[in-house]
Amino acid sequence: MSFCDDREDIYSMSLTTLSSLLRKYNIDPKSIGRLEVGTETLLDKSKSVKSVLMQLFEPSGNTNIEGVDTVNACYGGTNAVFNSINWVESSAWDGRDAIVVCGDIALYAKGAARPTGGAGCVAMLIGPDAPIVFEPGLRGSYISHAYDFYKPDLTSEYPVVDGHFSIKCYTQAVDACYKAYNAREQTLKAKNGTNGVEHDDSKTPLDRFDHVVFHSPTCKLVSKSYARMLYNDYLANPSHPAFADVAPELRDIDYEKSLSDKNVEKTFVGLAKKRFNERVQPTTEVATMCGNMYTASVYGGLVSLLSNVKFDPSQPKRIAFFSYGSGLASSMFSAKIVGDISTIAQKLDLHNRLNSRRTVPPQTYDDMCLLREHAHLKKNFKPAGNIETIPSGTYYLTEVDDMFRRKYEIKA
């Protein structure tokens, strides 16, 4: 699991990640016309993280950049992606590119949930002629009122969590988004045709995706959710040959019961196992190694996929995404890898970066949580974390003054 002490916060993480994107891809700051941030790690009830990031653009004279922050638990990054795609497709687009930054520090009070935390940030450049292309108009969403995970106590970084209910909400969202996505796809096919692609009756609808990337609170939930999509295929067509060995009584089980039924879960996890290992397992490395990164989680899954699978530009691959944020907001959407992504994988350098991390005992993590508790909402404050362990190029907090203004330096 990744974590940080009181030397890093959502401002510093976002500055580090965005500056890295600009540097690695030699992006001209003047070429950016939209910058949007997805996060639920709030340092201010008014000032946006995006406004802090503008200090990376102001030296070039570019202050004409649309976008602010989007907040809804782990879903904000996806909403920022949607907004940026919509902007590029709209009459408001001025020909420049967009950048989405999504990141969080996931913290839990002492107890069983604490090991499910994590920290991370992802920055993405969005514009025309990209090697990864989002499929236009193909989205299905499910948004509902639920108190499954929320942060009503602004004096604490820790959430209020109803764990079992949150898993139920997540599963319901998978079902609803998959159904909405499928319905939307059928509507578009009826309107636009299939572009010469013939339907293969030997495959289930899930098989049309070469890979599926999930928001990953835990990797076990990802495995169950992929199986749940296959269960939805079964309900839609129980007579499909792929389901010949499925007990027929599973077809008629009550929906509410199906959400937690162990027989349903076991049957379809088993049935999906080979598909999961090939199509989903390669997307889980960041979640496995870094923990839950909240808004960055699903895009950390994309990072994992690009770093673990070799893609042939001459053979486009289709990727489905499921994004979930408690409270709740969720969407399923898709993209195709149509170009050479080898440069992206090279610049990500994921495995070397993961292997370069320091390993510390659990007590160090508990100590860090205490440091962050002490630092939360403080002014006239100087952090106590050790800057010697911070990698070069990382932004870190040096002080919070008497007006809560935060100051940062870059590790040489």
Active-site positions read 40, 74, 215
Query: Binding site, residues?
Result: 166, 220, 224
Computed on alpha carbons and rounded to an integer, the radius of gyration of the chain in Å comes to 22
**C-alpha count within 13 angstroms, C-beta hemisphere, residue 294:** 30
Give the integer Cα–Cα distance in Å for 400 and 411: 18
State the CB neighbour count (10 A cutoff) for residue 64.
11
State the CB neighbour count (10 A cutoff) for residue 295.
35
Give the integer Cα–Cα distance in Å for 311 and 333: 20
Place of tokens 């009550």: 254
Residue 324's contacts (CB-CB under 8 Å, 6 or more residues apart) are 74, 75, 170, 173, 174, 215, 330
Give the integer Cα–Cα distance in Å for 229 and 207: 11
Give the integer Cα–Cα distance in Å for 28 and 25: 9
Nearest to residue 304, comparing CAs of 276, 280, 284, 279? Answer: 284
Element (H, E) at 398: strand 395-400
Residue 250's contacts (CB-CB under 8 Å, 6 or more residues apart) are 234, 263, 264, 267
Residue 112's contacts (CB-CB under 8 Å, 6 or more residues apart) are none
Give strand ranges (E) for 220-377. Answer: 317-325, 329-337
Query: Binding site for CoA, residues?
Result: 166, 220, 224
